[in-house]
A and B are shown apart, each in its own frame.
Chain A
């Protein structure tokens, strides 16, 4: 058996067995469904200039407070007669980019901290983790509000604030996975075949981090959307007259008694978006769980 009989295998072309994204979508319906939802949201954000029936900023006092399903204004108009549907579609262009920049800030900041902390261990780990603990001690929104209060209101600072809130989550996650990976023999095995520490981290550790990170990114994107809306609702995020969902709820809240759709419509937009991202994260977590993989 050890003198391998000459199976002329190596002459045959080497073909990869397909895996990856398509396989994942085919095998897991919840992943596919939530993936489609998120894709639609992105499409809306990209295409809102073409899709919007009206200019989201165009004021027309003659047609204010029109209820939903009015011809020409499917979702109605607000107190200044601006078309709600157009404002909702344009609002996606604010919320989604903010969420993604915030998640990117959290991912890179937290990921770097977690990687260094987990790989180096010892005193470095101890100090970095206490820093993370300190951040983690604040409730997320309070911390975000405090950061914006310090930096000043505005979308850019809202992104930074929400990103900072996400940092400890990623730091903890990445550190935990790195510690787990360090126990595996392939780490020493890879070094024993002459790989440099940098190669080990970049080519061997980081690819192993991708699954948990993908799941966490979709989950924290949901949180970031909500946090952005909250900050804007409080007047700390998007500034007038930018059409923003949180800010629309804020101005709609004054008319809750007579014209409740002014607040309900943007609220629904936020709910659907957050739900889509959470569903994606949740289903991905189930689909990518190695214990459930055959």
Chain B
């Protein structure tokens, strides 16, 4: 294809109007996704991961809007398309699956009918054909007894099966980009593994590029080629997954990795949470937003916000590491 990248997100700013002000939910996020690649976006609740995804889809809640920036997909600028043109892209070129499989299917329709809906909307096939296609898709995503399952209602499906059905719906039109917003958060651990395995298989077999949004670093380590770490609506670190995990260059990533409980830890060794709590998104501190919780902070951090610059093999938004210092295991706290 003639495009340099499948998806290019360029300096997106999305704001949400809330009761006591404006939340800069996405504040200058840029990244690229190539065909067939898997990109992970991690961050805690409220860091802007989902809002970034919804900005790409242009499905922000009514109180939200993209105030600046550009999203380019296959050479087309999504942020400049009309709503009609955007509707033609949603569900054909870009599909999205959601966190809560319990509510992401419409309870009053049979699953086959729903999974076939993108085909009816975009390919204008009739209901019978679309349900038959849904049965085929059910087989592909590992739902047994597909021809019977398509006639059942969502409440007759388990959580894992519903998420499979959602994935089937996302895949029905062979999109080139799949955005998975915390697809395994609401599932049992064993089912999580199966769903991730399924996503990996589909990514490999169909070459569907995937943006995987999660707060689970383990998921990123197992699934993603590259990772973006978000904090307070900004990208704080970005790089190849191995690089970021082997040697984080932002204190937030460093703290996240350190807070994972380890099996080989000494007995009675306490867990290491990140001190403090996420910032108030309406009244963000000046300077680097992580400063109040950062064990490495220097005076400059609170005064001036750093840029996202190359540090070693990745990009990091941190004065300390940009100055050449290393984030040492036992410092701070």
Contacts and interface: CB of A to CB of B under 8 A. Distances in A.
Contact of B105 (A7, A14, A186, A210): A186
A193 B91 contact: yes
Contacts of A188: 54, 59, 98
Given A7-B145, A16-B110, A184-B103, A192 B139 contact: no
A225 B145 CA distance: 50
B103 A208 contact: no
A191 to B, nearest CB: 6
Contacts of B139: 4, 6-7, 9-10
Contact of B118 (A4, A10, A15, A193): A193
Given A7-B146, A189-B104, A17 B91 contact: no
Contact of B117 (A17, A122, A195): A195
A291 to B, nearest CB: 11
Given A4-B140, A14-B135, A122-B62, A192 B90 contact: yes
Given A2-B197, A185-B104, A293-B155, A191 B135 contact: no
Interface string B69-95: 000000000000000000111111001
B302 to A, nearest CB: 37
Interface in A1-34: 1-4, 6-7, 9-17
28 contacts: A1-B194, A1-B197, A2-B141, A3-B201, A6-B139, A7-B139, A9-B144, A9-B146, A10-B132, A10-B135, A10-B136, A10-B139, A14-B132, A14-B135, A17-B151, A121-B62, A183-B103, A184-B104, A189-B96, A190-B106, A190-B117, A193-B170, A194-B121, A196-B87, A204-B109, A207-B108, A208-B108, A293-B155
A135 to B, nearest CB: 27
Nearest to A14: B147
Contacts of A293: 155
A191 B58 CA distance: 10
B59 A186 contact: no
Nearest to A120: B62
B142 A14 contact: no
Contacts of B150: 14
Interface of A: 1-4, 6-7, 9-17, 121-122, 183-186, 188-196, 199, 204, 207-208, 210, 290, 293
A90 to B, nearest CB: 40
Nearest to A204: B106
Max count, chain B CB within 10 A of own CB: residue among A4, A14, A192, A199: A192
Contacts of A17: 151-152
B294 interface: no
Contacts of A192: 57, 59, 90-91, 95-96
Contact of B121 (A184, A186, A199): A199
Contacts of A2: 141-142, 194, 197-198, 200-202
> What 6 pairs across the A-B complex have the smallest Cβ distances?
A194-B91, A193-B91, A185-B104, A184-B103, A192-B96, A9-B146
A196 B135 CA distance: 25
A265 to B, nearest CB: 44
Given A9-B146, A13-B147, A192-B90, A185 B136 contact: no
B216 interface: no
Nearest to A11: B147
Contacts of B108: 207-208, 210
B166 to A, nearest CB: 7
